[in-house]
Structure 1
Amino acid sequence: MGSWSLSKILLASVLITFSNQNVAGGGPATGYDRQERDALYALKANFNHPFLNKNWTGLQCYMNEPPYWYGIQCINGRVTGILLENMDLTGTIKFDTFIFLPELVALSFRNNSLTGTLMNFAANQQLTSVDLSGNKFHGPISQSLASLDLLISLQLQGNNLTGQIPEFDQPTLILFNVSNNNLSGLIPSTRTLQSFGPDSFLDNPKLCGPPTLNSCNLSTSKEQQDGSQAPEQPPGESNTKSNKKNSSLSHYAVIFLLFDVVGLVAVVILFFLYYKKSKELKKFMKDENKEEEEEEEEDERVRVQVQVQGRRLEEANRDQEKPEEAVVEGRRSVFGAEEKEGKLVFMDKSIANFELSDLLKATAEGLGRGIFGNSYKALLEDGQAVVVKRLRDLKPMTDEEFTRKLISVASLSHLNLLPPLAYYYSKDEKLLVYRFAEKGNLFNRIHGGRGGRDRVPFRWNARLSAARGAALALEHLHRSSRASNGIVPHGNLKSSNVLFDQNGEVLITDYGFASLIAAPIACHSMMAYKSPEYQSSKRISHKSDVWSYGALLLELLSGRISAFSAPPGTSGVNLCTWVHRAVREEWTAEIFDVEISVQRNAAPGMLRLLQLALRCCDNAPERRPEMAEIVRELASMKPVDSEDESDMSYDRSLTDESASTSASGPAGDEKSR
């Protein structure tokens, strides 16, 4: 047996062992729901689309395996998402189409040609995202949408909707757009709807009231009554009677004429008053917007793309653009704070060597948008670089509560943790200041520059070092924190939150913030809330961090983007499910990233790390190892002696598809002992 067989046997042993653990421990008893399948079949019949007719057959989803149908998302065997975008779909969707899909979380038919009235979503209380934009739906906006307490995004632009906007007042709703329809009436004055900008309501000519600039005119309309024809005079009636009647009619005509004149005068007066009020209102609105317009002109002059007082929806749209470096002068900066409002409070007094005014004058470069807020790199005049994070969606709390929580976070000192340097707190702005990590983050190190000439291969020793640093930081958080139920020590561990300093040392950031963020935002965005236990029982714990760490290890080993931590606009895969499927369908050559699979001497360590990752990703939290055990296991994995180019060649045990599964079974298991 050649030297490659040992690695092949070890891989089979890893996967057989992990599969046996799952069988012994049991998985979630899900199966498929016949009502859900029938509902999807009815939807397919309405579309009658050739591709869906061919693809939507058989079982749509099973347990936690990847969905079998295109555009369908599943968790625990239940349909949680229907995403059919840009497919040229036609047909009419029935009013009660989704009544038998109670676990539906996301729905998108963006940019198709669907017709009919909007559906009833009263049975879909788990919905967080609805996108029906770019279709031909008509009629009113369904009142059932206003009853969805978890709704985060609602996009209905580009249809033929009519009637008034329902009173949406969900505090979770942060993306909303009903532009390019035929809606009418006064926009409800709920706090949620009034928080969006005019862009959310554009091209609805009959829509009025703030936040639009269209005023609502309350005018009374005069009812017109149909006059009845007077009866014909009998023959032989005297001229005197006729003259008397004409005189009476003339008398009434004078009275009506007087009423008409009075009415005309009243209309003229009302029109004059309206014109005067309208002019005053325009002047008032012009004065109100004067400062904002001046700031926008200044931003255009210096090419600052981040508006100081932008609304959340404008920020979400703006984050899709590429950040651009800009020099910000004057008293305001892109961070939104003013010098007169307060001072920076340093967590470590020994490093308090700059003030808020220094930040306001600094060169600012956008680094991106995270769930806790937008981040900027600020280059101070003395050459020092720091990162400023504008916090958003915080729980209501006082200055003292905010300070107490930050002190608790900053007190968790460790070589592999990046604590905040300082904070700024005011009614309208909350800022955190960190030291700048010169060598970027782990996500960019794994995935950035793939296929480019400037790409430096990310070899096994560096990946093992990153895994160790992250584990040491997480183990320290677990050992030091005294988290209550529902709070995890980190809560949002993912590759973009693993940073590298100037010396290449690992630094973990964005930890301990679960108690600061509003619950709906945390549940929708933070990594720990995507764990199997939260999806099934709405519970998280320290072991949710362990699951996040397992997903991080699989991303390190495979070089593939995890679906749970993929940045906005980037797609990924459920790596744990994908690894099992790779073995079952006999394409294990795809598991390991080619940048490390070529290192023959690293194969044993890679296989051991894969086994550890799968244990961390176990669906049952009680079967996952503690972080202390993970640290000990990683310490026993030795780096390879050499990573010279001469030592690089493909290990057939990891890349030869013909031999990827032949070691599975009793014989392979026996030889691996």
Structure 2
Amino acid sequence: MGSLQFPKYLLVMILFSLCRSSIAQYEQERDALYALKHVFNDSFLNDNWNGLQCYENTSFWYGIQCINGRVTAILLEGGGLSGKVSADAFFVLSELITLSFRNNSMSGNIMDFSSNQKLKDIDLSRNMFDGQIPRSLLALNFLESLQLQDNRLTGSIPEFNQASLIAFNVSNNNLSGPIPGTHTLKSFSATSYSNNSPGMCDSSNPDTCYYTANDTAGESRKKSVATIFIVFDIIGLVTVILLLILYCKKSRKLKKLMKRNRLEEKDDEDLELEAGGSYYKESKDESNIQAGEQRVIAKEEKGNLIFMGDEAGFNLNDLLRASAEGLGKGLFGSSYKATLEGRPGVVVKRLRDLKPLSNEEFTQLLRIIADQKHPNLLPLLAYYYSKDEKLFVYRYAKNGNLFNRLHGGRGTRERIPFRWSSRLSVARGVARALEYLHLNPSSSLCPVPHGNLKLSNILLDENDTALVSDYGLTSLVALPIASQRMVSYKSPEYQNSKRVSRKSDVWSYGCLLLELLTGRLSVHSAPPGINGVDLSSWVHRAVREEWTAEIFDMEISVQRSAAPGMLKLLQVAIRCCDKIPEKRPEMTEIVREIDNIKYVASDDEDELSVDQSLTDESFSTNASSVVVAGNGRGW
């Protein structure tokens, strides 16, 4: 037996070692970048270089580019950076391809690049580097461009002879000749060597360059070849200018966005985080919130609210003058309740992190969202669009969100029990809303019609009717942000193959049902800093280990007549959470099954003890059959 287990043990150890190695590489690269930040001590980098430096092929740090979670480029140009970078600063950045510190005030010797075998482009020009050109550059077999001009370098030029090297400049230094006579170095014009020691090269006369005799090939340089290089130089110069213009525009936009985000954080500093994760307690000083909202919008270009129906009756100025209460800061923006005189309250949502859309594109997508009308969808009343500000206006749901209804006030006398009939009504309403979204032809524009279904996005009106909100945002949000924040992108199919579909919404709905049935906090809806439970795995283990009485929330397990309906809804939830998307049911089938679950006659049941029907052997058998059915579907 021991010999049979050895290969499996060895495989586990190998996978563990690879995972640990990957994490170690990530941490080492982060520490190397932190060391650079410490050397530069630049206020902008100190604020920006924090958190995750790489997420797959995306970096949130200014000037950093990543591929597969590894740093591949450092582009810090024209930022006035100063300091002496250590020789081993880039030893752990083995995937580095591009490095540019162009036009700064850095000093000291040039770094050792012996561990950066993938480097193609190095630009250290227009700094104050001194000392010799490091010979580690000779080992870079993929090096295509080396720009060292306008520094204080001394010594001789190493024997560069890489066939890949097509751009080279060491002009305006203190280098001394002669130039090594390699084929590569002799292919560059005199301007690449000008303004060094007397006699090395005269930029006005290429024939004056003084080479050593170790390579006789190419001694008779033809004028046609020189002309070709001049043409390439001109093309390269034009390309650099265009890239510089593009870089400046991007840089200004980034700085403006960061400034705006800092202002948003300042506006929200009076809000306290509540258990709902995406909602906050109301601020006692309402005037501060209202003033913060006015400060941001007042600076935007003039415009007005665009109403999506016949709801008009107030304008943007009325909204700004209304009393405001902070509701919270969610994943895609902050929300405020505005109370207008003589009108029902509305919710204003300030959106952030959207894709760059023109007014026409934004309006078209908003029309598609607004045209989706269903009794269980929270309707969009109006929107506001300007270059730097986007607002959504909804009607106010008086009874809050489902997260607070299910989890809020547990263990306190103030809590009103959330009974079975109410939970079944919510499950039915949400299913009908999702079915409508999935069957609506306009939803075909989105890979997942909702994409972010969770308890905090289910609101309850004055009649406790479930209203699904935040639908359609997948069309407005860029994929890297959606993959980090939206629930559907946490589904098994996205984790395994980076794909989502309508069945990802079905998976999210199954997770929501499990949370409704168990009363436990799901890992998919837990607020930041609070640990949730992988409910599908937990329910499976509970039945397998025969502690099934603990599956259902105590607030509904005391209701004797609810047991059959609870088991049926649990079976629906398990089928929705199947790891294989194709085996999950369609929303139409789910609605039909939930409609067949009967409400109990009354929620006033004996609460002195847990219903024995939920603890006896028959329940274990029934629940086990539910999970066995789920196992047949890959759950």
Task: State the TM-score, normalizing by the size of structure 1.
Answer: 0.56
Q: Write out aligned runs for 1:433-512 (5 A).
A: 433-484=393-444, 487-512=447-472
Q: 1:422 and 2:345 equivalent?
A: no
Report if aligned partners of 1:343, 1:355 keep a CA contact under 8 Å in 2. no
Give the distance between the partners of 1:148 and 1:506, measured in 2 at CA. Answer: 36
> What 5-or-longer segments of structure 2 have no aligned partner?
1-6, 70-79, 84-103, 106-126, 131-258, 274-279, 629-635
What's the offset of the Cα at 1:568? 1.9
Q: 1:310 aligns with which of 254, 262, 280?
A: 262
Matched positions, count: 426
In 2 relative to 1, CA 33–519 (structure 1 residues): closer, same or farther, beyond 3 Å? farther
Q: Deviations over 1:215-258 (max 9, x none)?
A: xxx9999xxxxxxxxxxxxxxxxxxxxxxxxxxxxxxxxxxxxx
Q: 1:167 aligns with which of 63, 67, 92?
A: 63
In 2 relative to 1, CA 335–492 (structure 1 residues): closer, same or farther, beyond 3 Å? farther
What's the offset of the Cα at 1:642? 1.7
Q: Deviations over 1:416-439 (max 9, x none)?
A: 111211101111100101000000
Give the distance between the partners of 2:269 and 2:503, measured in 1 at CA. Answer: 35
Q: 1:644 and 2:596 equivalent?
A: no
Q: Write out aligned runs for 1:253-268 (5 A).
A: none
Q: 1:522 and 2:482 equivalent?
A: yes
Equivalent position of 1:634 in the other structure? 594
Give the distance between the partners of 1:481 and 1:131, measured in 2 at CA. Answer: 51
Give the distance between the partners of 1:663 and 1:402, measured in 2 at CA. Answer: 50
Q: 1:336 aligns with which of 296, 310, 313?
A: 296
Report if aligned partners of 2:543, 2:623 keep a CA contact under 8 Å in 1. no
Q: Partner of 2:324: helix, strand, or coil?
A: strand
Give the distance between the partners of 2:15 and 2:567, measured in 1 at CA. Answer: 43
Q: Which has the higher contact order (CA 8 A, sep 6+)?
A: 1
Q: Deviations over 1:146-205 (max 9, x none)?
A: 665555678xxxxxxxxxxx83367999xxxxxxxxxx9549xxxxxxxxxxxxxxxxxx
Identity %: 49
Give the distance between the partners of 1:509 and 1:150, measured in 2 at CA. Answer: 31
Report if aligned partners of 2:560, 2:605 keep a CA contact under 8 Å in 1. no
Q: Deviations over 1:353-411 (max 9, x none)?
A: 11111111122222112222111111223353111111111111100110110010010
In 2 relative to 1, CA 521–334 (structure 1 residues): closer, same or farther, beyond 3 Å? farther
Q: 1:375 aligns with which of 331, 335, 359?
A: 335
Equivalent position of 2:365 in the other structure? 405
> What 5-or-longer segments of structure 1 have no aligned partner?
1-30, 42-77, 80-96, 108-117, 122-129, 155-165, 174-183, 188-207, 210-217, 222-306
Q: Partner of 1:366: helix, strand, or coil?
A: strand
Q: 2:28 aligns with which of 106, 119, 135?
A: 119
Q: 1:355 aligns with which of 295, 315, 319?
A: 315
What's the offset of the Cα at 1:566? 1.5
Equivalent position of 1:160 in the other structure? none
Query: Residue type matched to 1:167 in 2?
Result: G
Give the distance between the partners of 2:23 and 2:300, measured in 1 at CA. Answer: 56
Give the distance between the partners of 2:622 and 2:32, measured in 1 at CA. Answer: 47
Query: Residue type matched to 1:310 in 2?
Result: R
What's the offset of the Cα at 1:519? 1.2
Q: Partner of 2:507: helix, strand, or coil?
A: helix
Report if aligned partners of 2:457, 2:470 keep a CA contact under 8 Å in 1. yes
Q: 2:570 aligns with which of 599, 610, 632?
A: 610
Q: Deviations over 1:471-513 (max 9, x none)?
A: 1111111111344586111111111111111111111100011
Give the distance between the partners of 1:560 and 1:632, measured in 2 at CA. Answer: 26
Q: Partner of 1:328: helix, strand, or coil?
A: helix
What's the offset of the Cα at 1:586? 2.7
Q: 1:540 and 2:490 equivalent?
A: no
Query: Residue type matched to 1:119 in 2?
Result: Q
In 2 relative to 1, CA 625–590 (structure 1 residues): closer, same or farther, beyond 3 Å? same
Task: State the TM-score, normalizing by the size of structure 2.
Answer: 0.59
What's the offset of the Cα at 1:38? 5.4
Equivalent position of 1:263 in the other structure? none
Give the distance between the partners of 1:318 and 1:139, measured in 2 at CA. Answer: 35
Query: Residue type matched to 1:168 in 2?
Result: I
In 2 relative to 1, CA 167–220 (structure 1 residues): closer, same or farther, beyond 3 Å? closer
Query: Residue type matched to 2:569 in 1?
Result: L
Equivalent position of 1:572 in the other structure? 532
Report if aligned partners of 1:439, 1:500 keep a CA contact under 8 Å in 2. yes
Report if aligned partners of 1:601, 1:640 keep a CA contact under 8 Å in 2. yes
Query: Residue type matched to 1:400 in 2?
Result: E
Q: 1:622 and 2:574 equivalent?
A: no
Give the distance between the partners of 1:544 and 1:309, measured in 2 at CA. Answer: 31
Q: Partner of 1:415: helix, strand, or coil?
A: coil
In 2 relative to 1, CA 523–312 (structure 1 residues): closer, same or farther, beyond 3 Å? farther
Q: Deviations over 1:264-290 (max 9, x none)?
A: xxxxxxxxxxxxxxxxxxxxxxxxxxx
Give the distance between the partners of 2:396 and 2:387, measured in 1 at CA. Answer: 26
Equivalent position of 1:179 in the other structure? none
Q: Deviations over 1:288-341 (max 9, x none)?
A: xxxxxxxxxxxxxxxxxxx98625776898766555143338986358212873
Q: Partner of 2:538: helix, strand, or coil?
A: helix
In 2 relative to 1, CA 334–494 (structure 1 residues): closer, same or farther, beyond 3 Å? farther
Report if aligned partners of 2:445, 2:475 keep a CA contact under 8 Å in 1. no
Query: Residue type matched to 1:380 in 2?
Result: L
Give the distance between the partners of 1:131 and 1:545, measured in 2 at CA. Answer: 41
Report if aligned partners of 1:446, 1:559 keep a CA contact under 8 Å in 2. yes
Equivalent position of 1:345 in the other structure? 305
Q: Deviations over 1:599-641 (max 9, x none)?
A: 1111000001000100010011111111111111111111111
What's the offset of the Cα at 1:101? 8.1
What's the offset of the Cα at 1:98? 2.4
Give the distance between the partners of 1:349 and 1:412, measured in 2 at CA. Answer: 12
Query: Residue type matched to 2:21 in 1?
Result: F
Q: Partner of 1:613: helix, strand, or coil?
A: helix
The root-mean-square deviation of aligned C-alpha atoms, in Å, is: 4.3
Report if aligned partners of 1:331, 1:339 keep a CA contact under 8 Å in 2. no
Report if aligned partners of 1:347, 1:407 keep a CA contact under 8 Å in 2. no
In 2 relative to 1, CA 172–416 (structure 1 residues): closer, same or farther, beyond 3 Å? farther
